[in-house]
Amino acid sequence: MRDAFLDWATRDFSLLGMPFHFWTGVFFILGSMVGSFLNVVIYRMPLGLSIVHPGSHCPKCQYAIPLRLNMPLVSWLWLRGRCKNCATPISPRYLGVELLTALIFAATWIHWGHTEPVMAMCLFALWSLFIAATFIDFAHFIIPDEITIGGVILGVGATLLAPALHHQGDQLAALKSAGWGVAIGFGVVYGVVRLGKLLFGRLRLKFPAGTTLILHEGGLTTPDETVPFEEIFYRPGDTVIIRATRVELPDRCYCKAEVRLALAATPPTLRIGNDSFDPAVVRHLEITADEAVLPREAMGFGDVKFMATIGAWLGWQSTLFSLAAASLAGAVIGLSLVAIGRREQGSKLPFGPYLAAGAVAWILGGWSWWQQTFG
């Protein structure tokens, strides 16, 4: 199948007789179109909206963007970043993602087009996964399954088309490398996540007996501070647990009950003892308690699956390399942001973008370093 594809690809190139950089231009334009699609994915996928229907429209006035105004790069510049109908500003992120994807596609072709044209085209798909994962993780602290699990499936396909992704000459060896990549990528990061949860996954707050804690729309208020909910709830499993000695509701009262609040779950849940409530209805809850447990974690299960994606594409060595590089970069950048006051200590950083950057570093030089060091 790969040989057939390679035949088709090379025959087509020579048939058309186009110079190498004609294709650089083609892939730049292709990149801008893919980038335009990634913008839709980045905006809609985390919200659970369809990425194909309806077509592009202004989120403010619902104006359906006609095809002639839906051209990558050009349209945003032509309209100077505003909706044609209602003049609502359109985020420069749209232009940025289109330009970034276009430049990366062109650079990939220039770098690998001569020696590994099929691998270069497979890498277009990997970069697309990385760009979508990065922007979604920054905005929502999740990486959707469509990207991670879908990415594993794409990775197996790419492995068959371009065993060079695994630095292997034949498909069977490359497939084995992909299998180990999924297993070790998944297993190692899963272990790290579990260990992390055990070591610093939860923040346990102790209070003097009889302290009043208040859950309200703004967050959790303790005598010392108010912790906004957006700093607590990122993932469906994030749960605040309060061991209450007394909870007062307008119509009843609980003694010695556990209060569990999970606002990022679908649907959001509030449990007091054995009873469930709709958190949207209970706006204000006073709890007498001596202990509260808040979720805090560096990595989530999305990162575990994302690591399996990287392994499927690049082999098990790449997963260890990416994890180490990402942890180092995350620590350095996280501490620098705290130092220059752009970020509070202990606040959340998305980890997916660092893993993606680690995988890129693997492709660009990590592999040869690994060969020299361990090979």
Q: From 22-30, 59-67, 303-311, 347-355, give the range in contact with Zn ion by CB under 5 A.
A: 59-67
Q: At what angle do helices 352-361 and 117-140 cross, to 10 degrees?
A: 160
Structure tokens at 153: 């499936």
The yes or no reply on residue 194 touching Zn ion (CB under 5 A) is no
The yes or no reply on residue 153 touching Zn ion (CB under 5 A) is no
Q: Give me the least distance between CB of 65 and Zn ion, in Å please.
A: 9
Separation of CA 368 from chain center: 27
Q: Give me the least distance between CB of 140 and Zn ion, in Å please.
A: 24
Scanning residues 73 to 102, which ones bind Zn ion (CB under 5 A)?
A: 83, 85-86, 88
DSSP 8-state secondary structure symbol assigned to residue 63:
P
∠121-137-52 over CA atoms, to 5°?
Answer: 60
124 within 8 A of 283, measured Cβ to Cβ? no
The yes or no reply on residue 60 touching Zn ion (CB under 5 A) is yes
The yes or no reply on residue 57 touching Zn ion (CB under 5 A) is no
Q: Give me the least distance between CB of 187 and Zn ion, in Å please.
A: 48
Nearer to Zn ion, 88 or 347 (CB): 88
The yes or no reply on residue 338 touching Zn ion (CB under 5 A) is no
Nearer to Zn ion, 9 or 64 (CB): 64
- Of 5, 63, 190, 207, which one interacts with Zn ion (CB under 5 A)? 63
157 within 8 A of 1, measured Cβ to Cβ? no
The yes or no reply on residue 56 touching Zn ion (CB under 5 A) is no
User: Which residues are paired to 270 by β-bridges?
Assistant: 261, 277
The yes or no reply on residue 142 touching Zn ion (CB under 5 A) is no
Contacts of 254 (CB under 8 A, 6+ apart): 244, 246, 247, 272, 273
Separation of CA 174 from chain center: 26
Scanning residues 8 to 37, which ones bind Zn ion (CB under 5 A)?
A: none
Q: CA–CA distance from 122 to each of 125, 166, 360 (Å)?
A: 5, 12, 14
Q: From 57-65, 270-278, 305-313, 366-374, give the range in contact with Zn ion by CB under 5 A.
A: 57-65
| Residue ranges in contact with Zn ion by CB under 5 A | 58, 60-61, 63, 83, 85-86, 88
